[in-house]
Amino acid sequence: MEIIVHADDFGITLDQSKLILARSSQCGGAGALNSTSALVTSPHFGECAAFAKPFVDAGLIKMGLHVNLVEGPALSSPEEAPLLVDANGVLRQSFAKMLLLSLGPKREVLTQQVRQEVRTQIQAFLEAFPQLRGALRVDSHQHFHLIPAVFDGLAAAIKDEACTLEYVRIPAEPFGPYGAVSQVRKQVTPVNIVKNKLLNWLWKQDEDRYPADWPAPALFFGLALSGCMQHASDEVFLQEVKALAKETGQDVELLFHPGGVGSADECPAPHLKGFCDFYLSPNRQAEAEALREMQLSSIAS
């Protein structure tokens, strides 16, 4: 059983990216982090990738692509992907609007435009980390890739770019370990319960189309406690997670968000208040502190 202790959103700014890797003992910091994924649409991705490259090349941290179809500038032009990109080159769809498009008559067109944008993001990622073409790891901003049209576009883009997939996040989160530990369960908000149920439902729509040559999904945890994953460091909760993983024969991914920014101006889309509030939340520091106290060896034992 592999335990993936992961941070999304690497690459927003250099300082924010350094905060993320500071929670990895293997990268010279302190903490259990052993995986992260990069937002290649960020204007600072290049300098952040250069900072991470020695650690990635040495195999000290897993680096993946954090596909972004929702926030800030796109890599495709408005002409190439008009359903995704506005006239200013900015990504235009919320999760709800993208889901409605996916369920409607424009699904095939949407799939092709997602394919175009994801291909461009894969190319930017592999320009920075060319050795990862044969070991590509993928997740997505706000878990957009479970939306059926997005899932199909992602699969097509990976095939187009002749990548071998090492890992893809399937955020169909089991709720059992939360329910078994009352102190952790009390931290789960109603809105995160709704998100949990929605993503589990979306996975049921995608599961039959999951490519046979893709790796087996890991158990995922990080949605029900999104924004306050410091509570997932509870020892009893982690024992429940590991017991479930042994029962199902799966690896485990624990998703944290330790990298915050200093002001809204540093966010990829400063006009989107909900995103900015998440990046500026004091819980980012709380999650970072929880990671600092966690030891990968003790989690995996």
Question: How much is the pLDDT for 301?
Answer: 67
Three-state DSSP at 77 gives: coil
Please state at what angle helix 45-57 crosses helix 14-21, rounded to 10 degrees.
Answer: 20
Rounded to an integer, what distance in angstroms lies between the CA atom of residue 81 and that of residue 102? Answer: 15
DSSP string, 155-209: HHHHHHTTPPEEEE-------HHHHH-HHHHTT--HHHHHHHHHHHHHHHHHGGG
Rounded to an integer, what distance in angstroms lies between the CA atom of residue 93 and that of residue 206? Answer: 20
Convert the pLDDT of each residue in 143-189 to its tens digit: 999 999 999 999 999 999 999 999 999 999 999 999 999 999 999 99
Residue 62 Rama label (left phi>0; alpha psi -120 to 50; beta):
beta
Convert the pLDDT of each residue in 30-67 to its tens digit: 999 999 999 999 999 999 999 999 999 999 999 999 99
Question: How much is the pLDDT for 151?
Answer: 98
Residue 85 Rama label (left phi>0; alpha psi -120 to 50; beta):
beta
Average pLDDT over residues 83-105: 97
* Whether pLDDT at 298 is above 80: no
Alpha helices per DSSP H over the chain: 14-21, 45-57, 95-103, 107-128, 148-160, 176-180, 182-185, 190-206, 235-248, 273-280, 283-293, 296-300
Nearest 10 degrees: CA dihedral of 152, 154, 156, 162?
Answer: -160
Question: How much is the pLDDT for 203?
Answer: 98
Question: How much is the pLDDT for 296?
Answer: 73
- Centre a 10 Å sphere on the Cβ of residue 166 and count the other Cβ atoms it contains: 15
Q: 146: Cβ–Cβ under 8 A, 6 or more apart, which residues?
A: 170, 171, 172, 199, 202, 203, 206
